[in-house]
Amino acid sequence: MRIIKYFFEEPTQLDLPTEAEGARPVMRKNRHFRGYLAASDLTNDMVGGSSLEDNAAAEVLSRVIGGPIWFSNRVAGQDDVSITLLSNRKDIVQALSTMGSDSVMLMDVDPTEKLVKALTDDSDRQGMRLIAELLDGGCTLVFPEKADMGHDWSIFSSRPLAERMREAMAGLPEDTRGFVIPYVEARGGDKFYFEQYDLGLFAQHEVL
């Protein structure tokens, strides 16, 4: 059995310190939406969104974000930045499945090399101010997040995605179950990895 799970904050207000306010958070007027897509294969004891052999989780995410989308698969430690526009869903799925640690996908923005470097140099996502400014402009961003095997994905958007995620999970293969879960209910490692301990914990959020 495989599990694909999406944790979401809709909306979320990113805490953004300004120079004038120092470290104090400032609440933006614009609404932002944030999610995290992960997966596991219980039969083969594999944990990671990109670890599923048929790229089922990446397929789901590609249906949600759509396209065309800009993709930069920057190599960690190198200054060179390549940016490619992907329009074909097959290419988008392949890119989602093979993202390196310094990769990023961007939609509804014209990316520059400077922007890509600023986003991918910040692997801990501390530069939320820049992300929020992009979201204010209508952008969607996808980052890889290290998993036990391969990677998961963080998604930042200017529009809600949870309902679209439910729709995308409605057609999962028979051996795969999908869940769309409010992040506020899933804080803590045992809840994030609920399928390893209690598959019924979020039964009310399963996509049937």
Q: How do the pLDDT tens digits run along the chain, 208 residues long? A: 999 999 999 888 665 555 544 444 455 566 789 999 999 999 999 999 999 989 999 999 999 999 999 999 876 666 778 899 999 999 999 999 999 888 999 999 999 989 998 898 866 666 678 898 899 899 999 999 999 999 999 999 999 999 999 999 998 999 999 999 999 999 877 899 999 999 999 999 999 9
Peptide bond into 111 cis (omega under 30): no
Residue 187, pLDDT score? 85
Please give the Cα distance from 97 to 91 (Å, whole number): 10
Please give the Cα distance from 92 to 78 (Å, whole number): 23
Please give the Cα distance from 133 to 112 (Å, whole number): 15
74 token code pair? 């920057």
Sequence ranges of the domains in the chain: 2-207
Please give the Cα distance from 149 to 196 (Å, whole number): 15
Residue 129, pLDDT score? 81
Residue 160, pLDDT score? 94
What lies within 8 Å, CB to CB, of 65 at 6+ separation is: 92, 105, 107, 140, 142, 155, 161
Q: Which residues of 123-158 are buried (b: 16+ CB within 10 A; e: fewer)?
A: eeeeebeebbebbeeebbbbbbbebebbbbbbbbbb
Residue 23, pLDDT score? 46
3-state SS, residue 2: strand
Please give the Cα distance from 3 to 182 (Å, whole number): 16
Please give the Cα distance from 184 to 192 (Å, whole number): 11
> Interhelix angle for 89-97 vs 56-65, to 10°?
130
Whole-model pTM over 0.95 = no
